[in-house]
Structure formats: C-alpha cells, structure tokens
Structure 1
Amino acid sequence: MKTDPHTLRQKEALAQYNKLRQRKPSIIILGRLCAYFLTGRIWRSQSEMALALGVSKPHVTRMLHAATIPDEVIHTFGDVYRISFAIAEKLVKLEKRTGRQRLRDSAAILGARPDLDVHTILAALATGLPVPTDRTVVRLTRYNEENYIRLYSPQLSRISSDVPRLEKAINAVLGAVL
C-alpha cells in the first residue's frame, strides 16, 4: 500500500494552487500565494514546495521575487500582467541597488503609466527622473566601428554642465534593463 506523503494542509494548498493556475493569474498573484505557503509553514522550504507543485526551484524563486514587488510599482505598470518574470527580476535588482523606499517613491511620482512601454518605466524608476516628453532632448548613437556612444542634442549648451549626472542616469538605466 502506497502512503500519501502530503498532509491535509498541503493537499488543500496544492488544490488551491492548481485552481488558481487554471485561471491564468499574473505572476504576482502566484508569487504571493507561494509566499503564503512558506510563511504559513505549509511547506518548510522552496525545494519542498517546488517538488509538491511540480515546478522547478528556480521557478518558485522567480515567483517569490515577483511577490515582493511593492504595490506602488505594480500600479505604475498599469496592469499586473505587464510584469513578466524578466521584468520582476530587473525590479528586484533595481530595488537592491536603490532601496525599497526610493523605488516606491519613484513609482508614486510616476503614477499609473499604462501609456509607457515597460522599459521606459524601468528607466524612470531607476533614475527617479520624470519621463521625457515627446520633444527630443538627446539622441544616442553607436556606430559599428566605434566602441563608444555619441550623444547629440539641440540643447547641448544647456545640458553640458549636467554631464556627470547624465552619465549616472544612463548607467542606472542600463543597469536596470541589462
């Protein structure tokens, strides 16, 4: 006779997870459910939970990372489904670099921005700078034979004193999207 290794609480949690998966929830919702499973001690570790749910441990880790994204940041994207695992990982890196409160503050300043693509939102969250308007302030160009980027701007005289801050902003954006 084969014995079932799952407790009643684990069976109920597994049924809840499977029912939720059928509704195709966002990774945020799935992640929060998995976080609840761990904090509620339904499973003792991510490895145990991954085995029971039939997913890999890295998949569980990605879901748990998604669960940590602050509500203000989720609101900025306008739709929870716009946040993929890749975007969630970038947000986790960004939070480690800037701090949770600064990330939340930047998101609160941006507000809901479903009109922007996700990389523009990431850049704004990374720099804390407002989203540029439609008018071109700078244009960056890289030629194949060159190992550097050229910056062109009709307002170069106005921004030249701000080059160090501009460099930091570009590095922050690149760090957030790479």
Structure 2
Amino acid sequence: MKFDFSAREIPNQRTAIATHKRLKAANESLVVIGRFYLALIEQGLWPTQKALASELGVSRAQMSRMLAAARLPEEVLRAFGDRQAFSFADIATLQFLVKENGEQVIKQRARAVPQNTRPEDVLGILTTGKRPAPRGIRIRLGRDRKHLRVESTNIERVIPRIEELEQFLNVLLAVDLAAAGR
C-alpha cells in the first residue's frame, strides 16, 4: 500500500500525531513508519529529530533505526516483495551490506533477485551476489549465533537421520581440528 506523507496530506503537527497513531494501530512496517518520520523531518514540522521523537513518544534509538529503514535503497526493499516485515536486526544487516559492498553493488544484486524468492535467499543473494544452489536440506546459523537451524522441504526424511547428521558434523569438526594441529 502506498502512503502519501506530503505536506498537503500532513500539513501540521496535530495531523502528524493523528497519522502516527493510525500507523502504529495498523502495525505498519518499520519502512513505512520510517518514511513517515522522514517526511515530517523534511517538511520541518518539528525543529529536530529529537523533538519529533519526544512528541511522538518514540525513543531516539527507534527513530534512528526507522529512519535508516526508510533510507534503504528502493531496489533492496523491492527484492523482498510484499514480505517487508523487517526487524531492527534485518535493517542493521541490510545497512551493513550497503556500507561494506557499496550502494551500487547492492542495488545491482537486488535487481537480479527473482520474484518470490524467500527472504533468507534474498539476503544470501545480496550478500554474495549469487543465487543459492538448489538443495534438499539447508542448515543456517540461528539468530543467537549459538544454534543451527535445519530446514528441508522433506523434513520427514531428515528426522530419522538426525543422529547420522550429528555424527557427520562431528567428524568434520574432528578433521578440521586435526588439520589445524590441535
């Protein structure tokens, strides 16, 4: 859904506060709310970002993160399609990718993402510039960076073999440790 946050639609602080309440009640995405904040700042309805955050009852840290979401390249946002329910961690990751690789590289990679690509695969393409190879099983690092997540479209075939999978990973680790001379 497209929103019009122009001065014509939000001419004053009172209207801005009411619009903010509606956006929060509708549980709009970080990107949408960030674009709203950005429009208010650009229109000069509040003298500073700090004053805006205070008036709307938002922490300055949240305000900064949402503004960062609003400033992500449009190509990157489009690569995720309609699934733009980003967390603050997702936004930070995308910002990092833009900073590390350059905005033009990330935009180019984002334009190469096929429609209906899974969000985790979009992130992989943005990170490496390559489409993931089709696999029957995927192993990913958990958000806490202490756990692995195993995914499969045929998980019922994987479950009986969990013990073998564990043994295989332990052998790999043992070989790696031996190669490192430990």
* TM-score normalised by L of structure 2: 0.65
Residue 76 of structure 1 contacts residue 112 of structure 1 at CA under 8 Å; is this kept in 2?
Answer: yes
Matches within 5 A, 1:10-159: 10-114=13-117, 116=118, 118-134=119-135, 143=170
Bigger drift between 76-85 and 46-55 goes to 76-85
Where does the alignment leave 5 or more consecutive residues of structure 2 unmatched?
A: 1-10, 138-167, 178-182
Go from structure 1 to structure 2 and tell me whether the alpha carbon gap of 1:53 and 1:80 turns closer, same or farther (over 3 Å shift). Answer: farther
Residue 74 of structure 1 contacts residue 80 of structure 1 at CA under 8 Å; is this kept in 2?
Answer: no
Aligned-pair distance for 1:74?
A: 1.6
Aligned residues: 137
Percent identity over the alignment? 28
Question: Does 1 or 2 have the higher relative contact order (CA < 8 Å, sep 6+)?
Answer: 1
Question: Aligned equivalents of 2:61 and 2:176: distance in 1?
Answer: 36
Aligned-pair distance for 1:54?
A: 0.3
Matches within 5 A, 1:158-173: none
What letter is aligned with 1:79?
D
Any idea what SS the aligned residue of 1:112 has?
coil
1:19-66 Cα offsets, whole Å, 9 max, x none, are: 222222111110000010111111222211110110100000111011
* TM-score normalised by L of structure 1: 0.67
Go from structure 1 to structure 2 and tell me whether the alpha carbon gap of 1:80 and 1:31 turns closer, same or farther (over 3 Å shift). Answer: farther
Go from structure 1 to structure 2 and tell me whether the alpha carbon gap of 1:53 and 1:60 turns closer, same or farther (over 3 Å shift). Answer: same
Residue 32 of structure 2 contacts residue 70 of structure 2 at CA under 8 Å; is this kept in 1?
Answer: yes
Residue 124 of structure 2 contacts residue 131 of structure 2 at CA under 8 Å; is this kept in 1?
Answer: no
